[in-house]
Structure 1
Amino acid sequence: MKLVTVLCLILTLTLNLIGKEKKAGPEWWSLQPIKQITPPKLEDRGLALNSIDAFVQEKLIENNLTPSKPASPRTQIRRLYFDLIGLPPTPEKIAEFEKNPSDIAYKEIVDALLKSKHYGERWSRHWLDIARFGESDGFERNNPRNNLWPFRDWVIKALNDDMPYDEFVRMQIAGDILKPGKDGTAAVAFLAAGLHNTVVGGSEFMKKTARQDELEEIAGTVGQTFFGLTVNCARCHDHKYDPISQKEYYQITSALKGVFHGERDVQDSEFVEKISALQKEINALQERLSAIDSAARGKAIKKRKRKPKSTQNEGPSPISRWEFDQNLN
């Protein structure tokens, strides 16, 4: 009885605390319009080289802390390479920067890395995680998606081309309407890049339920990606914490009801040429492998023919011998 009493008390306190938690409303800090903030004016700027550094320096002073010492040239260039392209610098690049660790040389390295194709490859991974990009459907069958890769390549190219963020967002929501064609179709694949349940029951009820689950997944991704809100939590009731009502949830899903999962073959002359060139290369390599295999087979057959006939059918010689003609007990 004592245990039951304690559990009931804990449950009551928990419910009271939950009820007192503040729900995010229109006045919530993250939902406010962006304002121009003036950086703090410091008597001693120290290592504060820009506005962001000024905010950091202000907090360091308030907490009686001192900045860390500047990193060595070797550490700086390694940080740049790993942060921007995810690959280490060559020993030659490190040695070159160590000889001339000037601000100009530093900026030149940054510019070169931002122009590298590896920049988009490195940072697109983070966006593709947000977009729940996967080259298979998931669920029980987990069928492969052979034609989703153009979306991946589009994200990489968008980052490498420094596409403005507002355009980046619009293209992924309505790219097929804004820019019909290869780019628009690839970009809008964002909406259907997530899980796709291909195992749906035969009844009408199961089909409708699966469709609503599908729309919830799409709406949830759009909400979390672009609003920073868990919109999908309002499917069954007004959101408990975020300022999203159930009505607003269904308004969002109604705007997305034209989105369906499906496969679309990529028929582009550029890609067809690349595939054709790769296929020729594969065929040439297969011919080389066949020639090597034939030569190896020929040598093996000749070696086998040189063996004496009397030994061809003999079994392997015994390694050890045991006799059990006595009582071993």
Structure 2
Amino acid sequence: MRELGTSFTEVVKGELVHRAGTLRADCPLGEILGFFLLAAVREGDGFVLLTENAAVARTMYHRLRGFGVAPGLVVESGRRLRKRRRYFLRLSDADVLRLFALSSKAERTEIRLPGEPSPPVLARRFLRRHRSLACRRSFLRGAFLARGTVSDPKSHPYHLELVVPTEEAAEVLREVGGAFSLHFKEISRRGSPVLYLKDVEEIVEFLRVVESTHGVLELEDARAFKELKGQVNRLVNGETANVAKSIEASLRQIEAIRTIERTVGLASLPPALREIAEARLAHPEVSLAELGRYVRSGPIGKSGVNHRMRRLLEIARRLHPKVAREKPNGV
């Protein structure tokens, strides 16, 4: 049960940061790299990783410490942040190179410090070295923890998105997502690429890929509820339409009977037609199937009622051409 005021995004991220460590040894590094790709901002001779989620900041801090990197941690709060807090993890270029095992002489020359390393360059190098699906899962999980959101499936249209700093980073994510048949669409928002999924099957698959079991279950429950609600609404709407159709037919029949009554009188009708006419005047609210129960000579079926009613409508039209025509099998 989700706590009141907790968003679906917070539920998913909360589950991801508390997952048990069941991945291969190099996959936590993939999670860090996915986070780095979207959260890193160049500052001086290093990078700042920004998040507003305390649990995510704590998890990434311990992940980094696990690889022998001691990031600086700064917490920012204030009135302009509306009581929110922002968490900054500071890494030097040397930390980044050590972290991603890119500190050999050959690779250092190729990266050309300090203008690089850039997050997309590091991401591609890591993914070329670590091709397992497990590490790609870890990479997507880190990216979602950094800049991912998913709408509440109970109250909003299905939507999952990743806000990406550059088009190069977006291309990396599209390639990684493609390994799991995730086809991100892209828009631009305030100058930044945004990759998103709207198909519920793909959103479920994304949550499965990053291993958010509770997220998958909650989304599937919400989808089942929406589908059931839709079925009920269709049934109700269909029943409402049938009732309206029945009322409309009954009014046409009563109009025809009143026309006969005003012109030649109901007594002029054959007994079978007279009794169905009288039954309809006495019970204007019932359907043709129910009307047969009120015939004096005994119950008759819907087809019998329908046949007699058609004859009454034909007689009324001969007497008064403006009488509305009854549609086949009126009610």
Please classify the TM superposition score into its range, dividing by the shorter chain length. under 0.3
Larger Rg: 2
Query: Which has the larger strand fraction?
Result: 2
Q: TM-score, normalised by structure 2?
A: 0.22
Q: TM-score, normalised by structure 1?
A: 0.22
Which of 1 and 2 has higher RCO (CA within 8 Å, sep 6+)?
A: 2
